[in-house]
Amino acid sequence: MFRIVQRLVFASFLVVSAVSVAWAGEVHYDVFVTSSGTNLVIGGYDDDATVAQVPAEQLRVFGGEVVGTGTAAPYESEAPGEPGFRAASQTFLDGSSMTPAGVYTALSGSTALTFSFQPIAIDAATRNLFFWNGAGAVAFAPVGANVTLGLTKAGAGGWTSSINGASSAVVAGNVIQTTSASGGVHTHLFTEIAEDGAAPEQGFYLFALELGMNGYSSSDPLYFVFGALDPLSLAPQFADLAAFEEAHGLAEGWVETNLVAPVPEPSALALAGIGLLAMGGVAWRRRLNRLGQNA
For the stretch 215-229, pLDDT in tens is 999 999 999 999 999
DSSP per-residue codes, 236-285: TT-SSHHHHHHHHHHHHHHHIIIII-PPPPHHHHHHH-GGG-SSGGGGG-
Report pLDDT for 8. Answer: 30
Global pTM reads 0.84
User: What are the helix (H) ranges across 18-158?
Assistant: 21-24, 90-93
Report pLDDT for 157. Answer: 79
Residue 260: alpha-carbon gap to chain centroid: 13
Beta strands at 29-36 and 84-87: parallel, antiparallel or unpaired: parallel
Contacts 24+ apart (CB under 8 A), 193-197: 193/66, 193/74, 193/75, 193/76, 193/147, 193/148, 193/149, 193/150, 193/226, 193/228, 194/74, 194/75, 194/147, 194/148, 194/150, 195/144, 195/146, 195/147, 195/148, 196/146, 197/74
Report pLDDT for 160. Answer: 97
Spatial separation of the C-alpha atoms in residues 167 and 180, rounded to whole Å: 34
Q: Is the CA virtual torsion 30, 190, 208, 144 positive or negative?
A: positive
Closest-CA residue to 147 (of 43, 74, 49): 74
Report pLDDT for 281. Answer: 39
83 φ, ψ to 5°?
-80, 160
Report pLDDT for 51. Answer: 97
Report pLDDT for 27. Answer: 61
For the stretch 252-264, pLDDT in tens is 999 999 999 754 4
Q: What radius of gyration, in Å, describes the C-alpha atoms of the chain? A: 18
Report pLDDT for 155. Answer: 85
Residues 6+ apart with CB under 8 A from 140: 122, 130, 131, 132, 204, 206, 251, 254
Q: Report, as ranges of residue numbers, the positions in the chain whose pLDDT lies below 50.
A: 1-26, 263-290, 292-295
